[in-house]
Homo-oligomer: A and B are copies of this chain.
């Protein structure tokens, strides 16, 4: 049965700052990361009063935070898993300031934690010990937009959603979209090679980023901020900073290729009876919708029902084992409608779509997307969430959820899976009343071992950060790890940039 969703009443969480939302959902502070994970401080310099004086002379006083209560929010990640012990937060406004800060820290061997919107899920954006937090939020200027080529140039601290709103006014869109869009920074997106909801259509950031300006650990500014689509003059240095999570340099400016805003966008939200049918629908959608398919997302019943329950949303569909969300974006509404209706008719007749709704009204689409985008945060309202973000061959895509449900039994509140079928990327959430070492040990490295068995990735889009260096070998072999270490040594010989992250100890 295809129905209108006019009766859909949902609380629009989209514009709520997801970081604050999570941070204040519990009054208890997380344990210190160093104690929780038994980490030893490395031999970096300790910050002393003359250092603070230097930073204050460089920045204005209000951009050097040292009060404990001011610094605390910058020490905690938004899933309340990690807590660092930084004593100072610096908020540079220019690349030159970033360069001078890093040059000084490098000379004094002071460790630095670069921080964007702090929406990461692996503890990469908060300090572990007393690293200086280098927060980029004051570098938030849009520099230029070329409407014909689609090249947007901006500072690293621009919030993704602000950029998307800006380029939409010029008939363009950002090539990436993710649930944290209201808080995350483009610099953090680039540094973590963020994926998200549009990757199926517009590819990953290695393809979309035209240029980068970054500052190396010693303060050297690397200016690769070109806006050209094609430039084969020497090594493609910008890719060193995409996905290296602030350990090789601090991204200060980016040039992004923005695709044209589609004239016609539609959304379908369907109830499906089995994961096999979800897969068949994906094949069928690629066939029928071709070049207008812009998202193909799935969520299991537990993911949707817990989100609807925790966030007090309303689900326009009844209970089904699986839900599929399909977005189309094209240049001709009548053509796109014809393709989507043809797909729908075919798959309702085949029985793979049991129930569903399609809409191209912006408010209704926003409400449906809101359910999907609320899933990552909703689990926090159960107390604590163990999150796994894995790439896996499609035929094995959902197996791990079933394995985990069996393994964890009633020791946990829920186990559920959702994600980007088109990219082979599933997110698995295991929610519990609170963090438990026993549960953690039952999950890890078990999940990673299962992923390694099918040559998957133990971190499809969230990165390695603080939480996964000890598991990286499940997806990277020894020679690749050695090359990573060589590059780190080459570009940051004192190891001041984002220590305790990404690279495993020898």
A243 with B236: CB separation less than 8 A: yes
B236 with A206: CB separation less than 8 A: yes
B479 with A232: CB separation less than 8 A: no
A407 to B236, CA, bound (A): 33
A487 with B235: CB separation less than 8 A: yes
A476 to B224, CA, bound (A): 8
- A231 contacts chain B at the CB level, 8 A cutoff: yes
**B-facing residues in A265-292 (Cβ within 8 Å):** 283, 286-292
Stretch at the interface among A20-28, A38-46, A103-111, A454-462: A454-462
A471 to B216, CA, bound (A): 25
Chain B residues positioned under 8 Å from A192 (CB to CB): 232
B457 with A232: CB separation less than 8 A: yes
Chain B residues positioned under 8 Å from A463 (CB to CB): 232
Cβ-defined partner of A335 (8 Å) among B149, B338, B468: B338
Given contacts A226-B455, A490-B490, is CB(A331)–CB(B236) below 8 Å?
no
Using A220-B482, A234-B480, A235-B483 as known contacts, list a sample of 9 further A-B pairs with CB atoms less than 8 Å apart, ordered by residue number in A: A204-B207, A204-B230, A223-B477, A231-B459, A234-B464, A235-B244, A263-B290, A287-B331, A490-B490
B230 with A472: CB separation less than 8 A: no
B233 with A472: CB separation less than 8 A: yes
Chain B residues positioned under 8 Å from A457 (CB to CB): 226, 228, 230-233
A458 to B228, CA, bound (A): 11
- A400 contacts chain B at the CB level, 8 A cutoff: no
**B-facing residues in A218-251 (Cβ within 8 Å):** 220-224, 226-237, 239-240, 242-244, 248
A192 to B236, CA, bound (A): 11
Given contacts A239-B236, A331-B291, A338-B335, is CB(A229)–CB(B480) below 8 Å?
no
Residue of B whose beta carbon sits closest to that of A473: B233
- A481 contacts chain B at the CB level, 8 A cutoff: yes
29 residue pairs bridging A and B, Cβ less than 8 Å apart: A148-B283, A148-B394, A195-B230, A195-B232, A203-B208, A206-B206, A207-B207, A216-B483, A220-B479, A222-B483, A228-B457, A230-B391, A230-B425, A230-B461, A231-B459, A232-B457, A232-B462, A233-B458, A233-B476, A234-B472, A234-B475, A234-B502, A235-B243, A235-B487, A291-B291, A332-B335, A332-B339, A486-B490, A487-B490
A35 to B144, CA, bound (A): 47
Chain B residues positioned under 8 Å from A203 (CB to CB): 203, 207-208
- A484 contacts chain B at the CB level, 8 A cutoff: yes
- A424 contacts chain B at the CB level, 8 A cutoff: yes
**B-facing residues in A419-460 (Cβ within 8 Å):** 420, 423-425, 455-460
Contact bitstring A285-306, B, C-beta under 8 A = 1, else 0: 0111111100000000000000
B234 with A242: CB separation less than 8 A: no
B224 with A480: CB separation less than 8 A: yes
**B-facing residues in A109-149 (Cβ within 8 Å):** 146, 148-149
Chain B residues positioned under 8 Å from A487 (CB to CB): 235, 487, 490
- A199 contacts chain B at the CB level, 8 A cutoff: yes
A199 CB to nearest chain B CB (Å): 7
A433 to B502, CA, bound (A): 57
A289 to B149, CA, bound (A): 16
- A330 contacts chain B at the CB level, 8 A cutoff: yes
A190 to B110, CA, bound (A): 39
Residue of B whose beta carbon sits closest to that of A207: B207
A230 to B453, CA, bound (A): 17
Cβ-defined partner of A481 (8 Å) among B234, B391, B491: B234
- A307 contacts chain B at the CB level, 8 A cutoff: no
Chain B residues positioned under 8 Å from A223 (CB to CB): 477, 479-480
B290 with A331: CB separation less than 8 A: yes
Given contacts A195-B230, A230-B204, is CB(A222)–CB(B149) below 8 Å?
no
- A260 contacts chain B at the CB level, 8 A cutoff: yes
- A374 contacts chain B at the CB level, 8 A cutoff: no
- A183 contacts chain B at the CB level, 8 A cutoff: no
A280 CB to nearest chain B CB (Å): 11
Contact bitstring A313-331, B, C-beta under 8 A = 1, else 0: 0000000000000000111
A232 with B461: CB separation less than 8 A: yes
- A193 contacts chain B at the CB level, 8 A cutoff: yes
A235 to B489, CA, bound (A): 13
Nearest 3 Cβ contacts at the A-B interface: A207-B207, A290-B331, A239-B239
